[in-house]
Every structure is written in C-alpha cells, then in structure tokens.
Structure 1
Amino acid sequence: MKKDERALRKAIIEKCLWMNASGLNQGTSGNISARHGGRMLITPSATPYEAMEPEMIASMPIEGDHGAWDGPLKPSTEWRFHLDIIRARPEVGAIIHTHSPYCTALAVARKPIPAAHYMVAAFGGTDVRCSDYATFGTEELSRAALRALEGRNACLLANHGMIVAGPGLEKAMWLAVELETLARQYFNALLIGGPVVLSDAEVAETAKSFASYGLRDQPASGTGKTRTKG
C-alpha cells in the first residue's frame, strides 16, 4: 500500500472517530468514502471505528465490476449510493453519511430544509431536499439519493439520515457539520411558529458572496469550528 493511500485510509478513520465523538453520528450507523484514483475507499460494514485499522478499509473499483471489492472486510452496506454518486459526479472526492439527530428527525418527518438560513446556499441551491424512501443498501435507495442530489451536494434520506458530498474529506466533513447545524436551526424555528424563508434572489446573492470570500474552497478542520460567519 502506497503512502498516500495509507494516509487517506487513516484520515477516513479519524473522521469517523470525530463524527461519533462530536455527536454527529452514533455507533456504526454512519459511513465515509473517498475517491483514490480509479477506486473508492469506504468504511467496512458493522465495524466499530475504535477498532478500525487502515487495512480494514474496503477498496472498490469506480468503473468496471460494479460491487467488486478488495479487503479483509466487506464494505459498508451503503456502498451502493457512495459508489453511484462518485461514478455520476466526477467532482465528488468524498461522501459522508450519518444519522445525525436533527437531520434524521427532519428525514423521519420527510421535511426538506428550506432557505431558513442563508447557509443553505452552501449546499448548491435554495433548499436541501428529502429523498423518497427506500430500504437501506438497495439500488432503489441509491436512485432516490441521486435524484435528491441533483444540483446539490447534500440531501436528507427519508426515514434514515443525511448524505453530503464534497471535493475531499475535509470539505465533506465541513458540509456535514453545516447541514446538521442548519437542520437544528430549522427544527427549532418550527417550534416557535416556523421560519421566515429567504427568497431565491436572496439565496442567490448569498451564493455570489460566498464565491468572493472563498467559502467554496474552504476546508474543514474536522473540529466542528469552521462555521463561516456572515
């Protein structure tokens, strides 16, 4: 195993440990993947993050034999939507899936997140969609996720959790933190009568402002301390 691949495998494990320690995920319910050349590296199925070693990360070809994998442990049961997103979206270098509390609460209610806060623009549109429901690990779920992600880099999965996709692990984790924060804000606003939703024009103006101070290229530290201030 080359040095750069080992470093990426270790980074995946570090992000898994951090997202559980931070409360962004629980147990082994989440999973992380990253593009490495012509292959996808993904966390193995039902393996505690504390026990995970770089060699345990599964490796799957992005093209060719769909579902083939190398490694001592089989890939996450959610490998299909990870792989299909990476295959369909060449700009995506990493994907994070979690059952974070507020995103999952909205997904259980099948509520998309509207432009309740200007940070919705970080996800590529004027809302974060909630996908149709499908059983975990299935081709149907993968198709539903791809539909919900059209023109976006995040979505909620109905009665399930959330997905974010970024150019690399750092930005993907940053987006995951931002999405859970946005979900919490929206959830709390619903408790006091509902938010005042921003217009499409206001969100578009925010998106332009993001470009001017580099938010789109801003990496995450993995510490949850990277929230951009207006």
Structure 2
Amino acid sequence: MWHEISRIGKKLVANGLVESHFGNISVRIGNRMLITRSGCALDEITEDNVVEVRIDSSSPLDMIASSEAVVHRAIYSKTPALAIVHAHCPFAVTLSLLEEGDNITPADSEGQYFLGEVPIVKGGIGSDELAENLASSLAHNKTAIIYSHGTFAIGKVLDEAYVLTTQVEHSCKIKYWYDLAKNTRA
C-alpha cells in the first residue's frame, strides 16, 4: 500500500498541488491507518516514510506520524472515508484568505457540479479543534479547505481523494482569475 501512497505523493508535487515537504496522505485499513511520517517529502515516499497507527486511540508511533494524525483519526471516525489527501494547494489557500464567508462557491460548471460549495474550516494545525471542525464538515462533503492552510479530500480510494484535490484547486484557480478579471473591468 505504501507504493500507492508514494504514487499519489509524486503526483501532488509534480502538479504543484503541494510543495515537497508539506501535506500528508493516509489510507484506512480496518481500525488502523497508514499515514505519511512527519516532514517526509511527498515525492520521495518509501516504505520507511509510512507509519501504521490505530484510529481509535493514540499510539507510540504518533511521535513520528504526520502532525495531522489526530485530524485523520477524527475524519475516519466520523466519515465513510477510506483514503485522505491533505495538500497545500496555493489557489485554495489564497481564496480561503480572501473569502469573507464560510465556503467557496466555484464559478466553473465542473466545480459546481462535482464539488458544490466547498467549506472553509478553521483550527490550528494538528489541533483537536481542527480535527473536530474538519471531521464534521467532511461528514457532509468530500472536500474542505482549512483557512490559510490547505485542502482535505476524502474518498473510497486514494485516486478519488487525489482527483477531488485537483478539482478543488482547479475551481479555486478559475474563481481567483474570474474575480480578478471582474474587478479589473469594473
């Protein structure tokens, strides 16, 4: 399974959805999850960069797992997700800073159809507050943006979570350019 995590990590970096050492990826296997290690380069994931930890309780390996392990646990506990991709997509982060509401409404038809409104949630990195807010949001959505931080997408498989990540970033890019052009014309 670490090969699949590595493949998705390489795609995230290659497509500019995350800088190498930011973001994390996990897969649920029963009451456990495989999650990237803290600080690992997503385009250089090896078997040693993936940690197996429990979902229902903390683990001694939490010390080396991603700092967002608590967030992944909460999402797996409150949603049907079997895979999670967290990226620091630049346009999604930018729009979360610019948006005055609690969500981003895509301007493009694909974003409207596949995503609908994308919630913006708040909470400190790796905090219990973020875990609760994000898990609650993803119980009703497949994607969300953390204010000033990045995207989370869930799926039945990693490819689904990856595609949703790309769709959020694409829709945020279109909305950013659309809003910029609209304001320039005024």
**Structure-1 residue corresponding to 2:143:** 154
Using the aligned pairs only, state the percent identity: 23
Residue equivalent to 2:36: 43
Number of the residue aligned with 1:122: 114
Change (3 A) 1:69 1:181: farther
Q: State the one-letter code of the partner of 1:121.
A: Y
- 2:109 pairs with 1:109: no
Determine which of 68, 81, 91 is the counterpart of 2:59.
68
CA deviation string 1:56-107 (max 9, x = no partner):
31111122xx221549x71100111111101111x21111111111111112
Q: Is the 8 A contact 2:22 2:41 kept in 1?
A: no
The TM-score normalised by the length of structure 2 is: 0.88
Number of aligned positions between the proteins: 180
SS in 2 for 1:129: strand
- Higher relative contact order (Cα pairs below 8 Å, separated by 6+ residues): 2
> Equivalents in 1 of 2:99, 2:130: separation in Å?
15
How many angstroms does 1:22 deviate by?
1.2
Kept in 2: contact 1:93–1:168 (CA 8 A): yes
SS in structure 1 of the partner of residue 11 of structure 2 = helix
What amino acid is aligned across from residue 43 of structure 1 in structure 2?
T
Separation of aligned partners in 2, 1:128 and 1:99 = 15
Contact 1:42 1:76 in 2 (8 A): yes
Distance 1:70 1:160 in 2: 24
Residue correspondence of structure 1 range 78-89 to structure 2 within 5 A: 78-89=68-79
Question: What is the aligned-residue RMSD (CA, Å)?
Answer: 1.9
CA contact (8 A) 2:9 2:25 kept: yes
Decide which structure has the larger Cα Rg and report it: 1
CA distance in 2, matches of 1:189, 1:130: 20
Higher strand share: 2
Distance 1:186 1:106 in 2: 8
Runs (5+) with no aligned partner, structure 2: none
| 1:108 shift after superposition | 2.1
Query: Which residue identity lines up with residue 134 of structure 2 in the other structure?
Result: A
